[in-house]
Amino acid sequence: MTIGLGTDTGGSVRVPAAFQGLWGFRPTHGVIPTAGVLPLAPNFDTVGLLTRRHETLRRAASILLPQDTASPGEAVIAEALLAIADDEIGRAVRAASGILDVATEGAFTPEPGWLAAFQSVVGAAAWSAYGDWLGSRMECLGPDARARFAQASTITPDAAEAARRVIGDARARIRSWLGERILMLPTVPAAAPPIGASTDQLRVRTMSLTIIAGIGGLPAVNVPVTLSSGLPVGICLVGPAGSDLALLDVAGEVST
């Protein structure tokens, strides 16, 4: 297979790409139509791409995407985001940042409540879309998905609205801080865990990184990186809304 299509709401293209040594791309929210896609949370859902090679990803994107409406400028890293990842991954981001002559930027710190708000908004939307159908079929789901849908069923309209306000404020803050720059951060905080290992804490750490692009509605690309252990992870580049093709060009520079 040359190109894989997937949906990325909270990282479902970028994370598997990082864990498997692939390129993974989430475009600016809304630039690729989602007609015909089963929705999870339309405010965050995007159609993404996975490829083995950067050249393939760039060519596919040039066909699927409109021309850019923004041009990314300098790149930055945020210490608070690097601190979420294992040390070796943080060092990989710093090493890659040297290719783009990045200055460390420590002023950006995500709020602790952003992840919970994101999960509430996504959960409320997912339950609204599938709750009636799932009501008598929850046993058909795997344990993790069943637990998340069960939690989603308890989200009240008032709680969902409060979460949407948090996300609205977070989106404005992320876009204002980033401006026309490119944010470099770990795609995942650690390599993929062994089969059967607990993933609860890894999921929290991972989503703390991936929701930055999701909340902002911003394009993001995973650049494959290999750890000293031989296991794949990734560096993520997040760009201004509408800078998709230029962001992919920069990502190609980082991978060299």
pLDDT tens string 175-217: 999 999 999 999 999 999 999 888 889 999 999 999 999 999 9
pLDDT tens digits, one per residue of 48-89: 999 999 999 999 999 999 999 999 989 999 999 999 999 999
Around Cβ 240, how many Cβ atoms within 10 Å?
25
CA distance linking residue 212 with residue 210, whole number of Å: 5
pLDDT tens digits, one per residue of 111-131: 999 999 999 999 999 999 999
pTM: 0.95
| Res 196: pLDDT | 87
Non-local CB neighbours of 106 within 8 Å, separated by 6+ positions: 78, 79, 80
The CATH number corresponding to 3-109+160-254 among 3.90.199.10, 3.50.50.60, 3.90.1300.10, 3.30.365.10 equals: 3.90.1300.10
Structure tokens at 128: 């609204």
Structure tokens at 83: 């601190």
Taken in order 171, 22, 87, 247, is the CA torsion positive or negative? Answer: negative
| Res 135: pLDDT | 85
pLDDT over 80 at 147, yes or no: yes
Q: Which residues of 111-140 are buried (b: 16+ CB within 10 A; e: fewer)?
A: eeebbebbbbbbbbbbbeebeeebeeeeee
CA distance linking residue 105 with residue 78, whole number of Å: 5
